[in-house]
């Protein structure tokens, strides 16, 4: 049994539709992945900031403990907490705070970089989605154009027995379709 040209045309048109659907779905998937990556990055940045707050608190507590130890050592040695000994303790606390602030700044830089990467992933996902939608539309239009160029001048549902067989004729040559 021979397959008619109309059957091949319909198969080609359906294939183009399936390909376009696949391209459309791929675009949705990539956009969703970009949004997911952005959400994950935001969560990671938030965790890094929270972790840094805990570390900074511990650093400050250690600095105060160290200052208390220095104070106790000076007091045990009979040194009054004025002038140079007091300056030493204050300098130690200032240095510790400076180190904590540098750690905070470095953490904020890292968290901002992670958030930026997440926003970039979401943007790339949206761009890929638009591109996939355009490819899907192009595939549909191309399939329709090929179908139309091959069969545009032929009436595929002709009941008069055109070339290559007709869709609407029964075994007796009579049309199965009523007008």
For the stretch 77-117, pLDDT in tens is 888 878 888 899 999 999 999 999 999 999 999 999 999 99
**Domains in the chain, please, with CATH?**
5-151 (1.10.287)
Q: What is the pTM of this model?
A: 0.65
Does pLDDT of 176 surpass 60? no
Q: Following DSSP, what letter does each residue of 116-129 receive, concatenated?
A: HHHHHHHHHHHHHH
Least confidently predicted of 24-33, 98-107, 166-175: 166-175
From CA 141, how far away is CA 148, in angstroms rounded? 10
What is the reported pLDDT for 146?
81
| 159, burial (CB in 10 Å: exposed 0-12, middle 13-18, buried 19+) | middle
Whole-number Cα distances in Å, 44 to 40, 51, 58: 6, 10, 21
What is the reported pLDDT for 169?
46
**140-152 average pLDDT score:** 79
C-alpha dihedral sign at 84, 89, 90, 96: positive
3-state secondary structure of 65: helix
């Amino acid at each position: 049994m021979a397959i008619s040209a109309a059957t091949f045309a319909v198969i080609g048109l359906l294939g183009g539709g399936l390909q376009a659907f696949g391209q459309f779905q791929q675009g949705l998937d990539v956009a969703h992945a970009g949004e997911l990556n952005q959400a994950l990055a935001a969560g990671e940045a938030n965790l890094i900031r929270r972790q840094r707050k805990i570390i900074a608190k511990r650093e400050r507590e250690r600095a105060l403990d160290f200052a208390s130890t220095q104070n106790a050592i000076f007091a045990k040695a009979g040194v009054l907490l004025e002038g140079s000994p007091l300056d030493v303790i204050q300098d130690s606390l200032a240095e510790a705070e400076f180190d904590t602030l540098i750690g905070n700044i470095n953490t904020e830089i890292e968290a901002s970089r992670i958030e930026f990467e997440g926003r970039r992933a979401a943007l790339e996902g949206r761009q890929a989605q638009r591109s996939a939608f355009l490819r899907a539309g192009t595939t549909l239009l191309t399939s329709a154009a090929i179908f139309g160029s091959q069969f545009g001048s032929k009436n595929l549902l002709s009941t008069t027995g055109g070339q290559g067989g007709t869709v609407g004729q029964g075994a007796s040559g009579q049309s199965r379709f009523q007008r």
